[in-house]
A and B are shown apart, each in its own frame.
Chain A
Amino acid sequence: MNLLELRRVSHWYRPGEASRPALRDVSLLIAPNEVVAVVGESGCGKTTLGKLVAGLYSPSAGEILFEDQPLRSLQGRNKKHYRRSVQLVHQDPYASLNPAVTIGDTIAPALVHHGLARRHNAGVAAARALGAVGLDATPEFLDRYPHQLSGGQRQRVAIARAVSLEPSLVVADEATSMLDVSVRVAVLDLLLSLKQHRELAYLFISHDFGVVRYFARAGRIIVMLYGVVVEEGPTEQLIANPLHPYTVLLLQSVPVPDPARNEQRRRDQLPLVLGGAPPERGCVFSNRCPFATEVCRTTTPPRVEAGLGHKVRCWSPRAALDAGRSTQLSHST
């Protein structure tokens, strides 16, 4: 059984207009207990994808299925089951928690609504949920307000709210990018341990390839640009042998905590061209790609299968592979 499936999903924020879609013809499968990471620059559609999966919007075209049932057709109990099973953790724990609501009341009502706790023992259930994410679940803590917590504690509360509903899929949209360095890894490790113990799957959205490699090491990566999936594959495979020039550009542009290697990598970087609007025709990267030829500018590239679930939309994936090699992306020391 597939946990979640996107079938040729496109989405426009202003339907009817000739505006370009936020998502274009995206197909995706997420299996139970799988980690799928989505990477791309601002505006690539990764957040839209997360919101569609979490059911905040309905797609303008195409179909999303949860446990093989189309979301559009879900009603009553089935709809409630989906709502509980797919949870969202947002980027900013300063914005995602209601400042006027205590921590206990942030977590307990959903537990009651979904029948995971009774009203009279909801506080105990909320405390248990907070304990599961490593928070000190005293009655005083339940009575605190978000402003009395640190950023790391707030994000743990947001995670507790999501996982306490026993979801099967958590959409984490830049969930650790606002956290301090010393806390970030602890929260990533927490999410990974929850995956192990609760059979969770993640749709992990981030623009930071370093964090993605760490989090999705046993999973898959999807690279998006202008609403199009340009490359996807198993994490280590995609990072070691990137086949799309845009993936190479992203990989090369992330600095690493090593001055000597940064300097060395800088010498072989692909030129950085930031795009305004995507090209009207052809490959979405063709106006920024150093390897683009005539065919790239006129015709949408087909999806090429490179084995082991590694797929790329590019007319000349070989060029990217060589460029990636020259910057030693494939070396791992």
Chain B
Amino acid sequence: MIPEGSTRPLLEVTGLTVDFPSGASRVRAVDEVSFEVRANEICALVGESGCGKSTLAHALVGLVPPPGQVVAGQLRLEGETYSSTSPREWRALRGAQVGMVFQAAMSGFNPVATIGRQVEHILKAHPETFPSVAAGRAYFEELLGLVQLPVQRVWGAYEGELSGGMKQRVAIVTALLLKPRVLVLDEPTTALDVLNQRLVIDLLRQLHQRLGLTMIFVTHDLAVVADVADRTLVMYAGRLVESGGTREIFGRGRKHPYVTALIEAVPSVLEDGLSIRAIAGEVPNLAHLPPGCRFAPRCLMAEALCSEVEPALQCDASGHAVACHVVNRVDWRVST
């Protein structure tokens, strides 16, 4: 998928498929998703509820909640497959190679242990990262400095003594403690107000610059994507429908009718809102998917073929990929 001559991707996801049993049948939450993330890149995974973005994020760290199951696909980190490891191997890998900040990070700390004790616990479980617990604590302190939190305020504190914005910062710092090569963030700004959201975004941008961090940023907020991501992947009902550079996706380079409709549905403070359009209908239930393209029933450009055959993701020479019959046939650029 990557054009020749560019650097090797840090993370490669190939044909990843996750099923959830539902009664006698199965619901496919993530359906043959493939993508790559290059080193030092901020990659946004965006979509509406039920599109599979959060399930995919969990699959990257081997934590698909049961009864969900990864039924196909490969994960590679710097060319080495890591998707079929045992639970024991996952424990060594998770956090240290691929870190994650969960959506529930705000309430993800143990309320009856101080933050410091929880950090020590992580350091003891991963003795390979630092020569001593004290060295690990020093690194934690250094990271806290980057997010403008004094260690004295945090170390002895219980989760309940920190504000929402503080907790989210501590959660991010804790996820970085073991120096993962890739950090997956699941809706890190969702429960925050605009100012705390800006604080977290500024912080991630800074960590990205200072530590050369590679990030996968899962969110439903398109304005946040347009603010942080180098590259944007858009999912719909379990499938990847378009991926490309963020500027392309939010500008003239965007192709998929769903992506266009989605971006046109975001009210912007810079505009009077006259061009805002809602998308008719709702996201389909994964247990009752329409035949053919999953967006076809809501799509203004749908043709007969769209409700019969599922379109494949096709990639052009620049690495921009789109799954749409209409667009791929004529390579018609959606005007904006």
Instruction: Determine if chain A interacts with chain B.
Output: yes
Interface flag for B10 (CB, 8 Å): no
Chain A: CB-nearest residue to B258: A182
- Contacts A152-B282, A209-B194, A249-B195; is A262 near B226 (CB within 8 Å)? yes
Chain A: CB-nearest residue to B227: A255
Partner of A180, one of B220, B246, B263: B220
Interface readout for A229-254 with B: 1 if CB under 8 Å, 0 if not? 00000001001000000000111011
Report how far A183 CA is from B265 CA in the complex, Å.
Answer: 9
Report yes or no: A258 in contact with B267, Cβ–Cβ below 8 A: no
Interface readout for B259-276 with A: 1 if CB under 8 Å, 0 if not? 001110111111111001
Give the interface size bracket for B toward A. Answer: 35 or more
Interface flag for B201 (CB, 8 Å): yes
Report how far A180 CA is from B219 CA in the complex, Å.
Answer: 11
Smallest CB separation, A47 vs chain B (Å): 12
Interface flag for A31 (CB, 8 Å): no
Smallest CB separation, B204 vs chain A (Å): 13
Report yes or no: A256 in contact with B193, Cβ–Cβ below 8 A: no
How many A-B pairs fall under 8 Å by CB? 137
Interface flag for B49 (CB, 8 Å): yes
Within 8 A of A (CB), among B223-259: 223-227, 246-247, 250-251
- Contacts A180-B49, A262-B227; is A254 near B269 (CB within 8 Å)? yes
Chain A: CB-nearest residue to B51: A180
- Contacts A259-B226, A274-B199; is A254 near B194 (CB within 8 Å)? yes
A150 neighbours in B (Cβ, 8 Å): 282-283, 285
Binding site of B, secondary structure by majority: helix, strand, loop or mixed?
A: loop
Report yes or no: A256 in contact with B199, Cβ–Cβ below 8 A: no
Report yes or no: B265 in contact with A250, Cβ–Cβ below 8 A: no
Within 8 A of B (CB), among A267-287: 272, 274, 276
Report yes or no: B269 in contact with A256, Cβ–Cβ below 8 A: yes
Report yes or no: A236 in contact with B272, Cβ–Cβ below 8 A: yes
B279 neighbours in A (Cβ, 8 Å): 182-183, 185-186
Report how far A1 CA is from B103 CA in the complex, Å.
Answer: 47
Interface flag for B63 (CB, 8 Å): no
B261 neighbours in A (Cβ, 8 Å): 182
Smallest CB separation, B32 vs chain A (Å): 23
A41 neighbours in B (Cβ, 8 Å): 193-196
Interface flag for A131 (CB, 8 Å): no
B222 neighbours in A (Cβ, 8 Å): 181, 257
Smallest CB separation, B266 vs chain A (Å): 4
Report how far A153 CA is from B250 CA in the complex, Å.
Answer: 29
Partner of A257, one of B164, B192, B223, B282: B223
Q: Which 8 A-B pairs have the closest CB atoms?
A: A214-B267, A255-B227, A186-B278, A185-B278, A182-B279, A214-B273, A180-B48, A255-B223
What is the interface of chain B, defined by CB distance below 8 A to chain A? 48-49, 163-165, 192-199, 201-202, 220-227, 246-247, 250-251, 261-263, 265-273, 276-280, 282-283, 285
What is the interface of chain A, defined by CB distance below 8 A to chain B? 41-42, 150-153, 180-186, 188-189, 207-211, 213-214, 217, 236, 239, 249-251, 253-262, 272, 274, 276, 329, 331-333
